[in-house]
């Protein structure tokens, strides 16, 4: 099925599909009229001889330089080529597809002054399997994602490089291979293509989707850890969380209650002498609820940005005006991505503390040291916990906010920038670290529960155990564990627990 992009109406669920599916992209035909009026307004302003930034002037510090009419096409091509200065590894094909979809949605709002044929050409390039090579580094997030979007635009006009069927080649050759001609840009079109926050937003959305999977896995792993350590379910009582009133906290506590309901292990120690559990168990609703609130906030920002117009200047065809502003400044994405980074780090930090609790016989409710029979002869989860600690510490450094940094560019014309692109790009690495920690906890908690046999955990958690055991066997004696850690991480990243057990919590779960 074709993925119809209706400008201003993208949902998080559709954005997830746009990132992960390969359905052809198409701009909603209803947008053609307003897009056409916008392009006509640009031509009308040019015919009137008015100086308009980026249309018939230079760019940045050179905005006062007037460009003669016979050089306007050359101006747009020169802009794309001069801004194609990205460095680093190429963005993944799915990322590029999402960037292109976001650019199509933004241009389709009818405030960018491009012709409908340009938008259709961008969609067709992606649909025929041409993936522009977009280096990951080189954007400061204002004026938009200039360098990476220039690489996207360069491929459209037959410059730079692209992948076709996994083969990297010159973009002109890529277009020829799939039967497409390079686009000849008219006035303002190059600027509209490379000005905007689509790369930062795409990377931020990817980070959100990965964070959701890690969050869901951590909720399930935490519930398993409560049973493994013979913890109490009293801290999840609705009355406690209603008294505080924090939405995320209440929502998460309800999921924990549902996951643990009916556990034989819990019933076996209702009258034990333990008064309170460690914070890593007892405070899971408070910590994970705060993380959920942060994720929901970030999701709202990202969804609005995906539906917005973030290039400059903007065309208002009804009034026949072209206005220069600053919607390209990606500060909303930068601050939201920084907030999401804190949540990702905390999800992993709390999971690491639960792993530490489970391997320690002084805190784990009577389980053997490092969750293995014959400790001493076997080290069990001793060094797996070290890996979890290393990744949790790494995330602390990566969580340092990017948005508080700014370096002026363009001879101080662009004197405050957002650093949104890095703020968003580092989320993927952080989410993978957290997913790995959560995978380690799943393994540890599952083995801990195994020591309580024949008592069983709840039905919901038994389903989680079956999913894990299909990939990872219990650690009954020391073995080469690295592949098991990878398998557990992949289970988390695949969204197993997001789909089946915690979907109602998460921002992108439903349309």
Place of tokens 């101080």: 412
Q: Is the dihedral of CA 376, 380, 386, 389 positive or negative?
A: negative
Cα 212 to Cα 505: distance, rounded to the nearest angstrom = 9
- Alpha carbons 232 and 90: distance in angstroms, whole number: 48
Q: Which of 53, 256, 279, 297 is catalytic?
A: 53
The pTM (predicted TM-score) of the whole model is 0.96
Q: Is 53 a catalytic residue?
A: yes
Residue owning tokens 């640009």: 42
Find the helix or strand (DSSP H, E) in which 356 lies. Answer: helix 331-359
| pLDDT band with cut points at 50, 70 and 90 for residue 502 | low
pLDDT of 272 > 80? The answer is no
**What pLDDT is recorded for position 501?**
66
pLDDT average, residue stretch 249-256: 96
C-alpha span between 405 and 393 (Å, rounded) = 22
Task: Give the end-to-end CA distance of the chain in Å, rounded to a whole number.
Answer: 17
Each residue's pLDDT tens digit, 306-346: 999 999 999 999 999 999 999 999 999 999 999 999 999 99
Region 86-94: mean pLDDT is 97
Per DSSP bridges, beta strands 135-137 and 161-164 are unpaired
Range of lowest pLDDT (69-78, 114-123, 169-178) = 69-78
Residue 491 has pLDDT above 90, yes or no: yes
The token pair that represents 12 in the structure block: 């998080």
- Alpha carbon of residue 445 to chain centroid: 28
The pLDDT > 70 percentage for the chain reads 98
> Residue 60: left (phi > 0), alpha (psi -120 to 50), or beta?
left
Give the pLDDT confidence score for residue 511 in this predicted structure: 44
**What pLDDT, on a 0 to 100 scale, did the predictor assign at position 510?**
55
Q: Enter the DSSP assignment of 364.
A: S
3-state secondary structure of 375: strand
Q: Is 35 exposed, middle or buried (0-12, 13-18, 19+ CB in 10 A)?
A: buried
Helix axes 93-107, 12-20, angle to 10 degrees: 130
State mean pLDDT over 239-263: 97
Name the percent of the chain lying above pLDDT 90: 86
The answer, yes or no, to whether residue 461 has pLDDT greater than 50, is: yes
- Give the pLDDT mean for 468-494: 97
Q: How many angstroms separate the Cα of 285 from the Cα of each of 211, 223, 337, 496? A: 17, 11, 22, 21
Predicted confidence (pLDDT) per residue in 31-65, tens digit: 999 999 999 999 998 998 888 888 888 877 788 88
Q: How far is CA 503 from CA 60, 214, 349, 369, 417, in A?
A: 45, 12, 22, 35, 36
pLDDT given at position 230: 95
């Amino acid at each position: 099925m074709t993925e119809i992009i209706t400008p201003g109406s993208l949902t998080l669920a559709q954005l997830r599909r746009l990132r992960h599916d390969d359905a052809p992209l198409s701009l909603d035909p209803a947008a053609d009229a307003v897009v056409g009026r916008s392009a006509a307004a640009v031509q009308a302003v040019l015919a009137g001889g008015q100086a308009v930034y980026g249309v018939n002037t230079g760019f940045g510090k050179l905005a006062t330089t007037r460009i003669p009419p016979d050089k306007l096409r050359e101006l747009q091509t020169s802009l794309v080529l001069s801004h194609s200065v990205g460095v680093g590894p190429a963005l993944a094909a799915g990322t590029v597809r999402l960037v292109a979809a976001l650019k199509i949605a933004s241009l389709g709002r009818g405030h960018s002054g491009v012709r409908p044929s340009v938008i259709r050409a961008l969609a067709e390039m992606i649909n025929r399997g041409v993936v522009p090579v977009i280096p990951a580094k080189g954007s400061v997030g204002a004026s938009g994602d200039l360098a990476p979007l220039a690489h996207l635009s360069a491929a459209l006009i037959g410059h730079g490089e692209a992948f076709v069927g996994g083969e990297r080649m010159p973009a002109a050759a890529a277009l020829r291979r799939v039967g497409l001609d390079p686009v000849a840009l008219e006035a303002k079109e190059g600027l509209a293509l490379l000005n905007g926050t689509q790369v930062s937003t795409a990377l931020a959305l990817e980070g959100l989707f990965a964070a959701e999977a890690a969050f869901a896995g951590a909720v399930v792993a935490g519930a398993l850890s409560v049973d493994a350590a013979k913890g109490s379910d009293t801290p999840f009582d609705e009355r406690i969380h209603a008294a505080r009133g924090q939405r995320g906290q209440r929502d998460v506590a309800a999921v924990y209650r549902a996951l643990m309901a009916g556990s034989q292990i819990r019933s076996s120690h209702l009258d034990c002498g333990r008064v309170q559990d460690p914070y890593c168990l007892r405070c899971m609703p408070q910590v994970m609820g705060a993380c959920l609130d942060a994720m929901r906030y970030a999701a709202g920002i990202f969804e609005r940005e995906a539906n917005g117009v973030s290039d400059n200047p903007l065309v208002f065809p009804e009034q026949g005006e072209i206005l220069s502003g600053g919607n390209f400044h990606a500060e909303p994405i930068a601050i939201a991505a920084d907030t999401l980074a804190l949540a990702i780090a905390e999800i992993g930090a709390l999971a690491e503390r639960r792993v530490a609790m489970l391997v320690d016989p002084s805190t784990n409710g009577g389980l053997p040291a490092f969750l293995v029979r014959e400790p001493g002869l076997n080290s069990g989860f001793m060094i797996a916990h070290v890996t979890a600690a290393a990744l949790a510490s790494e995330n602390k450094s990566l969580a340092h906010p990017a948005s508080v940094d700014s370096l002026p560019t363009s001879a101080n014309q662009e004197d405050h920038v957002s650093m949104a692109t890095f703020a968003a790009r580092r989320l993927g690495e952080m989410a993978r670290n957290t997913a790995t920690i959560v995978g380690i906890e799943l393994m540890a908690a599952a083995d801990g529960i195994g020591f309580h046999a024949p008592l069983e955990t709840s039905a919901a958690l038994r389903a989680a155990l079956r999913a894990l055991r299909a990939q990872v066997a219990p650690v009954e004696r020391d073995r080469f564990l690295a592949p098991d850690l990878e398998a557990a991480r992949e289970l988390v990243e695949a969204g197993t627990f997001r789909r089946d057990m915690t979907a109602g919590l998460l921002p992108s779960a439903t349309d």
